[in-house]
DNA sequence: TTAATTCCCGATAACGTTACCGGCAACGCT
DNA sequence: AGCGTTGCCGGTAACGTTATCGGGAATTAA
């Protein structure tokens, strides 16, 4: 009972050939019912487990999905959970690798998995990534690849994302409706798609209300709390400081909030604030921060479904792009006009 | 260029045997320098990638580590990051599988990975798990296994955890020093080790200060925010309600905080609150919640190191148990006595 | 010159599995 | 009786790699 039992052991003990055992095991035709029973019984007794490696080597597929993510924060962890759910159901095992937003780690992780460990990839690109050659290798190998959340025009692949532009629009329009006049945006890194899309929504909202965008109020900064804190400090020291800030992530909103509080300004009276993601934390801080809610779990599930479709489908799906709706959740940080029932009109 | 290049292709094109190519590739002796150069050059040109499956099949090891976690919340994600860091460095790829705190999923995930996909496991058990037979299979196969964070006496395996008992003690002693008299504890599920250890610390602190534990103030409840919220509501409706609450996780502390605020009680004046984990969120809410800080990232790294040691070490390491220090971080939620410099004595 | 040593290399088996082909009975049909 | 069909099974190659062995040529030692 030391070495794990193999198909050969069963064949030898039953005095039949390994081919027959193999057939019996996977319910193939051309095998007598009695023989099958005997094989099943013995395999049970020997606690036989088919060797996945050998199988994968033979039929050149692993039934593993490589999931490449830049980190495992709340949103991505939720998405991964969605992926996991669907993948498991479909008989796939997922290998999650996080790159820590590092370009180098992203490449290393990818190459590792690429070496015949997975059948394909579900990817959300790192914010550091500006070059996409390593992903091309996946496509060269004809491997299925699905991108999610953070997409990029440089990759021809099916994908699913949220309507970032609309999210940016909803957030900005809401601030305008609340009477804010000088609305700043903390956009993320310049090369990140979601960053620019949310910025586009911001710009469209300004345009709709005939407000002129002010370059001084459009801040690009790294996707994290501390940089948002610093950027907000600078914003608040301007002669004509903004009276509202839209940050493209909740983490950044938290940073902004800290700077605002430190300055002694009140939300929403002195300054309005809206974030993005609707992470649990924004409803816990005081004041609660308005934020654009996105269906992260659902998005993960769709990503996995797309992957499986791509696997089983011969036709080119690289043009497929699912876009999920988002919805602004209004909280105290931006709600100046209060109606009778406590909601904005 | 469609099919990936193999060692055979190189051999054929160079008119040498596959053995020689194999040797050349892995810097084995017995190969001429010229030959090696030629092999290297051609393998570069053909973009050759050794097939990990074949290699694993041959030498019966995969260089993969299966990491089984109950979820991917902040603390565990941080630990996984630590594992990842060390594992990658040592040439291992990690496969993260989350069980969603479900016993069934834990088993499914484990069996998947067990079928020759990984060389061993690093495990944090699900809170639902009361039976550990499935883990025994790992040991039967002589596979290395390391447990982390959530340990259990039912598994003989090396592990690393934090000093939960001391954490519970620090938190409770602090509350006592702040003059709280009726200190409740929201403990987690009864079968969870970390839950009981933190409770033990709580009890030891009470004993040290000659305070009698009150069974009505010891609440077992599920490890999540909502149940903590409900439990706190009940606590606050008692005739002799507690004047402080220690929750064994920050998520539960948040739930408690919500119930406390709803009741209109002030922290720390009317009631004190201390959590566990020191997640970022506790410093963001108002008032900031005191919490026991644990070195999650470090813990992950040590878990991975233990694993690698176990791999390379023939001797039995199942008795090894590393315990990491924790440290209470005091915030407004529990700080009644303020000294000149704003710290407790 | 001969023997011993070193340097390279190739052939083969093996890891555990499946796919393909061929073959031998037994059976049914004309 | 002869023929095709069906049911069942075994042998073999292959997936891509490494380990083991053996052996020939070249170099060195005696």
B93 part of a folded domain: yes
pLDDT, residue B285, reads 94
pLDDT per residue as tens digits for the range B48-61: 999 999 999 999 99
CATH of the domain at B39: 1.10.260.40
Residue B112: which of A57, A74, A93 has the nearest Cβ? A93
pLDDT, residue B281, reads 95
Contact yes or no for A62 and B80 at CB 8 A: no
Spatial CB neighbours of A233, under 8 Å, sequence gap ≥ 6: A259, A262, A263
Within this chain, do residues A249 and A191 fall inside the same structural domain, yes or no? yes
Contact yes or no for A72 and B81 at CB 8 A: yes
Is nucleic acid strand C under 7 Å from A55's C-beta?
yes
Within this chain, do residues B194 and B205 fall inside the same structural domain, yes or no? yes
Contact yes or no for B81 and A73 at CB 8 A: no
In this predicted structure, the answer to whether residue A284 has a pLDDT above a threshold of 80 is yes
Within this chain, do residues A174 and A224 fall inside the same structural domain, yes or no? yes
| pLDDT (mean) for A327-336 | 97
Q: Does B338 touch chain A (CB under 8 A)?
A: no
| Per-chain mean pLDDT for chain A | 92
Residue B171: C-alpha distances to residues A320, B210, B216, B328 (Å) = 53, 16, 19, 6
* B145 SS3 class: strand
Within this chain, do residues A210 and A97 fall inside the same structural domain, yes or no? no
Q: How far is the CA of A269 from the C1' of C27 (A)?
A: 93
pLDDT, residue B339, reads 61
Q: How far is the CA of A43 from the C1' of C24 (A)?
A: 28
Within this chain, do residues A85 and A154 fall inside the same structural domain, yes or no? yes
In this predicted structure, the answer to whether residue B262 has a pLDDT above a threshold of 80 is yes
pLDDT, residue A223, reads 81
Phi-psi region of B258 (alpha: psi -120 to 50; beta: other; left: phi over 0): alpha
Q: How far is the CA of B20 from the C1' of D27 (A)?
A: 22
Residue B72: which of A52, A72, A97 has the nearest Cβ? A72
pLDDT, residue A340, reads 52
pLDDT, residue B292, reads 98
Is nucleic acid strand C under 7 Å from A54's C-beta?
yes
| Per-chain mean pLDDT for chain B | 92
| pLDDT (mean) for A318-340 | 91
Within this chain, do residues B78 and B128 fall inside the same structural domain, yes or no? yes
| pLDDT (mean) for B29-58 | 93
In this predicted structure, the answer to whether residue A5 has a pLDDT above a threshold of 80 is yes
B208 part of a folded domain: yes
B185 part of a folded domain: yes
Chain B residue numbers touching A74 (CB-CB < 8 A): 74
pLDDT, residue A28, reads 87
Within this chain, do residues A27 and A70 fall inside the same structural domain, yes or no? no
pLDDT per residue as tens digits for the range B292-345: 999 999 999 999 999 999 998 878 898 999 999 999 999 999 999 866 554 443
Within this chain, do residues B155 and B302 fall inside the same structural domain, yes or no? yes
CATH of the domain at B129: 3.40.50.2300
A174 part of a folded domain: yes
pLDDT, residue A313, reads 83
Which string of DSSP letters, residue by residue, matches A34-56?
HHHHHHHHHHHHTT----HHHHH
Residue A285: which of B51, B140, B284 has the nearest Cβ? B284
Return the ∠ at Cα B53 (arms to B136 and A136), rounded to 5°: 125
Q: Does A52 touch chain B (CB under 8 A)?
A: yes
| pLDDT (mean) for B141-151 | 91
In this predicted structure, the answer to whether residue B14 has a pLDDT above a threshold of 50 is yes
Contact yes or no for B84 and A72 at CB 8 A: no
Domain tally, chain A: 3
Range of the domain at B17: 7-50
Closest nucleotide relative to residue A11's CA, C1' based: D10
Within this chain, do residues A144 and A237 fall inside the same structural domain, yes or no? no
Q: Are B70 and B79 within 8 A, CB to CB?
A: no
A:B CB pairs within 8 Å: 101
B341 part of a folded domain: no
pLDDT, residue A138, reads 87
pLDDT, residue A339, reads 62
Within this chain, do residues B154 and B178 fall inside the same structural domain, yes or no? no
- Minimum mean pLDDT among A123-127, A205-209, A274-278, B331-335: which range? A123-127
Q: Does A84 touch chain B (CB under 8 A)?
A: yes
Within this chain, do residues A289 and A320 fall inside the same structural domain, yes or no? no
Q: Are B85 and A100 within 8 A, CB to CB?
A: no
Q: How far is the CA of B16 from the C1' of C10 (A)?
A: 8
pLDDT per residue as tens digits for the range A51-110: 999 999 999 999 999 999 999 999 999 999 999 999 999 999 999 999 888 888 899 889
| pLDDT (mean) for B182-187 | 97
Burial of B309 (0-12, 13-18, 19+ CB in 10 A): middle
Provide the pairing of β-strand B159-162 with B120-123: unpaired
Contact yes or no for A62 and B53 at CB 8 A: yes
B210 part of a folded domain: yes
A263 part of a folded domain: yes
% of chain A with per-residue pLDDT over 90: 78
B104 part of a folded domain: yes
Q: Which positions of strand D lie within 7 Å of protein CB atoms?
A: 7-12, 14-20
Within this chain, do residues A72 and A40 fall inside the same structural domain, yes or no? no
Chain A nearest CA to B12, separation (Å): 21
Contact yes or no for A81 and B72 at CB 8 A: yes
Q: How confident is the model at residue B2 (pLDDT cuts 50, 70, 90)?
A: low
């Amino acid at each position: 009972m030391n070495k794990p039992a193999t198909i050969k052991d069963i064949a030898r003990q039953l005095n039949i050939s390994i081919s027959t055992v193999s057939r019996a095991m996977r319910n193939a035709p051309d095998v007598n019912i009695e023989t099958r029973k005997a094989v099943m019984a013995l395999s049970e007794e020997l606690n036989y487990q088919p060797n996945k490696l050998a199988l994968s080597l033979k039929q050149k597929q692993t039934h593993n999905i490589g999931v490449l993510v830049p980190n495992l924060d709340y949103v991505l962890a939720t998405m991964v959970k969605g992926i996991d759910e669907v993948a498991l159901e479909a008989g796939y095992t997922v290998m999650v690798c996080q790159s820590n937003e590092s370009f180098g780690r992203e490449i290393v992780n990818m190459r590792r998995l690429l070496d015949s460990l997975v059948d394909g990839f579900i990817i959300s690109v790192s914010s550091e990534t500006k070059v996409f050659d390593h992903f091309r290798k996946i496509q060269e190998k004809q491997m299925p690849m699905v991108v999610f959340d953070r997409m990029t025009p440089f990759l021809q692949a099916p994908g699913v994302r949220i309507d970032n532009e609309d999210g940016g629009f909803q957030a900005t329009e809401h601030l305008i409706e609340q009477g804010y006049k000088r609305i700043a945006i903390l956009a993320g890194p310049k090369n990140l798609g979601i960053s620019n899309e949310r910025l586009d929504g911001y710009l469209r909202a300004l345009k709709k209300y005939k407000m002129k965008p002010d370059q001084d109020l459009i801040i690009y900064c790294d996707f994290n709390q501390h940089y948002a804190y610093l950027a907000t400090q600078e914003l608040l020291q301007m002669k004509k400081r903004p009276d509202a800030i839209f940050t493209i992530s909740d983490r950044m909103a938290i940073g902004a909030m800290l700077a605002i509080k430190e300055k002694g300004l009140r939300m929403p009276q002195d300054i309005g604030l809206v974030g993005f993601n609707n992470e649990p934390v924004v409803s816990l801080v005081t004041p609660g921060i308005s934020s654009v809610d996105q269906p992260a779990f659902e998005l993960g599930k769709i990503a996995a479904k797309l992957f499986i479709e791509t696997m089983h489908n011969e036709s080119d799906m690289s043009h497929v792009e699912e876009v999920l709706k988002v919805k602004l959740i209004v909280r105290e940080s931006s709600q100046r006009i209060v109606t009778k029932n406590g909601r904005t009109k």
